[in-house]
Amino acid sequence: MPLVRIDLSKTASRERVRAVGDAVYNAMIQVANVPVNDRFQIVTRHEPDEIVYPEAGYLGVDYSPDLIIIQVTWVGGRSTEVKQQFYRQIADELHEKQGIRKQDIWISLVDVGREDWSFGNGEMQYAPK
């Protein structure tokens, strides 16, 4: 049930966009125990002035105009270790397959409750019983 938002440069190739989506999905399946076929992703491409980041860097990380921002909203409850492995797997895969600098892979997780989802029909499919 994760909802993934991917924000990147308008100049990113189709292959890069697909690779980012695939890397997030692979990490969800392999690390975060998300069911197969549970892939909902929104990709937004931006002009250079529409992704704002600290040009001097932040927390010892320096960014470039190729910064990719990934936000994943999912049901909470995963351990810190799982989240760390999730971040690492995405960064490693994108660096290996696309040559993306690991510094340019920025990820945010939003933990929500099971009752915070409707997958259609105006229903709460994961309603408490």
Tell me the pLDDT tens digit for each residue of 103-120. 999 999 999 998 998 889
CATH number of 3-116: 3.30.429.10
Annotated domain spans of the chain: 3-116
* Beta strand 105-112 pairing with 68-75: parallel
Tell me the pLDDT tens digit for each residue of 28-70. 999 999 999 999 999 999 999 999 999 999 999 999 999 999 9
Query: What proportion of the chain, given as a percentage, has pLDDT over 70?
Result: 100
Q: Are 112 and 73 in contact (CB under 8 A)?
A: yes
Q: 100-121: string of b/e by CB count within 10 Å (b at 16+)?
A: bbebbbbbebeeeeeeebeeee
> What six digits make up the tokens of 65?
């105009």
Tell me, what's the pLDDT at 114?
87
